[in-house]
Amino acid sequence: MESGQTARELMDRREIRENVTQALASLPMSSLLDVDQISSALSQSTAVSSELVCENCQEKVLEAVGKMIHIMKEQMSPGVLSAVETGRNILNIIGSTLAAVSESVSASSSHPAYSGTLHASTVARSALGHAGA
């Protein structure tokens, strides 16, 4: 396969992943079922961090994670088995988002390094804040 086609395919995958991720992160959530379903889908859409390079996506995803955690705190009762899987999904989403930020900072040569680092640290603080750290 020609490298131009490979680069084009990567750009297409990034665009698709960005659109799907933004759509999922924008969905309204009000119940544990919503959180369970959206966290599962977001976990899949953020799984390949090299394809999640849009800064707006990363911020939207972390805002959605914050909403998920808030809903879980309000509605979760002890011993709910789905909470474990939902929590795992949320941790995967946070991890993938942080990896994507790190990769985009490394790959970005058109922006000053400090601005990418500043964005990365802002996203990392947001992720840790949502995780309750």
Helices 32-45 & 55-75, crossing angle to 10 degrees? 150
Predicted local distance difference test score (pLDDT) of residue 22: 94
Predicted local distance difference test score (pLDDT) of residue 16: 93
Predicted local distance difference test score (pLDDT) of residue 113: 45
Averaged over successive runs of 10 residues, the pLDDT of the chain (133 residues) comes to 73 93 96 94 91 82 91 80 82 86 65 48 58 52
Predicted local distance difference test score (pLDDT) of residue 9: 92
What pTM does this model have? 0.74
Spatial separation of the C-alpha atoms in residues 4 and 25, rounded to whole Å = 31
